[in-house]
Structure 1
Amino acid sequence: MTAGERHIRLKGAHNVRDLGGYLTPSGDPVPWRTFLRADALHDLDPEDVQTLLGLGLKTVIDLRSDAEIRHQPSAFADHGTVRYHHVSLFDGLAPFAEMYDEGFDLSVRYVAAIGACRPALLSVAQIIAQAEDGAILFNCTAGKDRTGIVAAMLLSLAGVAKEEIATDYGLTAELAAPLMQKLRLQAVARGLDEAQATVLLSSEPAAMLAFLEHMDATYGGFQSYLGSYSQDVSARLVGRR
């Protein structure tokens, strides 16, 4: 399966992908058109919206901060047929610049997030478990960090191999390079130096692998981390809804 097969091409968003097709331990794939991961959706035009509705979209989970949403509201914030939820995933997490030091990679930030942001992730899991049938899209600004953690959570619950999860995470560099460059320049304009901005907008599979190893070693994996929500979320992932 190529990256292009899961990439959903839109004019107003650049990192929209289907999580379907990855193999589970039973040999069955994660169902297509069940979970979509994405960057910010504020620039979608009516044709983009119709494309996503045509994929069966019923639920959107916006992982961005209050400030990000005020600045760039989602195209689905007031949509009549799509349930829109806002869960600010990184509230309470220290700013990137305060974490950064020599040798830093994004696994450090993800490990910090999984400790500091557990209530938000449990809220995401609850929304997924209770969502109506149809595709669920979750997004942040770049479709990489907050979105990447939720994607890792879902694929882990499905039993997808860590290496495949890390590969999926790394597709951002291949599919959304112009967006990453734009966001990197914006980060520098906000005061990050070039080295910090380059790391911030990276998507190295090794960073995701390190994060997943931490999840297993510290929490016993996402199933234990999510507790009672894990079974309902897992059922949707293997098409038992």
Structure 2
Amino acid sequence: MNDLKPLFPRSIANLRDLGGLPATQGRVVRSRQLLRSSALVHLPSATLDNLTHAVGQATYVDLRTDREIDRDGGPTALVARGWRWHRNPLRDDDLRADGECRTAVSRYTAAATAVAEQLEAGPVLVACSLGKDRTGMVIALLLHWLGVSADRVAADYAASNAHLSAGRHLLPKRWRDEHAEIRPVTAAKCHNVLAAAPARPGIVAKVAAELLAVPPVSVYG
């Protein structure tokens, strides 16, 4: 069910464009407007140039904590290329499987709303460290509010397992160690969080007009 293909799979781990997902009223998410990824740090200049050429000077919403940024660094090279760096730190809490961790859901809701606000200025890429838990939940809430079906949202959430497995060699050294555990995410957890999600914020309704598009009609039927 998840038809999204990774962008630059040989250069950046777990990077994908949410464009093309079917949303409400027969529309789809526009390409190159909402993206998700692992942390965009310590990447070759050519990779950053290619990404900027493909996406433009986007906003990088960074969900990492101060400790993670001190350890791994910030996206200085992207900022030098005209990107905007917007920090919205979230702790890497493991939401309970029953989805009833209301405090955590509230934090993710606030972060997803903040991403919607950044979308008013243009394309946004959301990332944390690996781009699976925190990024996955924030993106899941946004897609849910845009009218993407729960099954498709959950499929995208779980797809990080395969993308990180394929791109593990692109991650920082501590994650490349075969003994380092990268805990898988589950579609069930995503479904539980969506069930606890609040109603769509007004800002999402506002940006949906630009973020969603009518898909082209094939002349071949």
TM class, shorter-length: 0.7 to 0.9
Cα distance between partner residues in 2 of 1:117 and 1:25: 22
Q: 2:63·2:89 contact (CA, 8 Å) conserved in 1?
A: yes
Which residue is 1:49 aligned to? 48
- DSSP 3-state at the match of 2:42: coil
**TM-score normalised to the size of structure 2?**
0.79
> Is the CA contact 2:36–2:131 (under 8 Å) kept in the aligned structure 1?
yes
Q: Is the 8 A contact 2:108 2:138 kept in 1?
A: no
Secondary structure in 1 aligned to 2:51? helix
Cα deviation for residue 239 of structure 1 reads 4.4
TM-score by length of 1: 0.73
1:177 is aligned to: 165
- Residues 157-176 of structure 1 correspond to what in structure 2 (within 5 A)? 157-176=145-164
> Identity of counterpart residues, as a percentage?
27
CA distance in 2, matches of 1:153, 1:113: 13
SS of match in other structure, 2:142:
helix
2:66 maps to what in 1? 66
Structure 1 unmatched runs, 5+: 190-196
Assess, with a 3 A threshold, how the Cα gap between structure 1 residues 118 and 213 changes in structure 2: closer, same or farther. Answer: closer
Q: Which residue pairs with 2:85 in the alignment?
A: 84
Judging by fraction of residues, say which structure has more helix: 1
Q: Which residue among 206, 212, 217 is the counterpart of 1:238?
A: 212
The equivalent residue for 1:105 is: 97
1:202 counterpart = 2:202: no
Q: Secondary structure at the match of 1:61?
A: strand
Alpha-carbon RMSD across the aligned residues, in angstroms, is 3.0
Q: How many residues align?
A: 207
1:18-39 Cα offsets, whole Å, 9 max, x none, are: 1011112322221111111001
Match of 1:85, SS state, is strand
CA-CA distance at 1:56 after TM superposition? 2.1
Structure 2 equivalent of residue 193 of structure 1: none
Structure 1 residues 88 and 236: alpha-carbon distance in aligned structure 2, compared to 1, 3 A threshold: farther
CA distance in 2, matches of 1:24, 1:46: 35
Alpha carbons of structure 1 residues 49 and 155: separation in structure 2 relative to 1, 3 Å: same
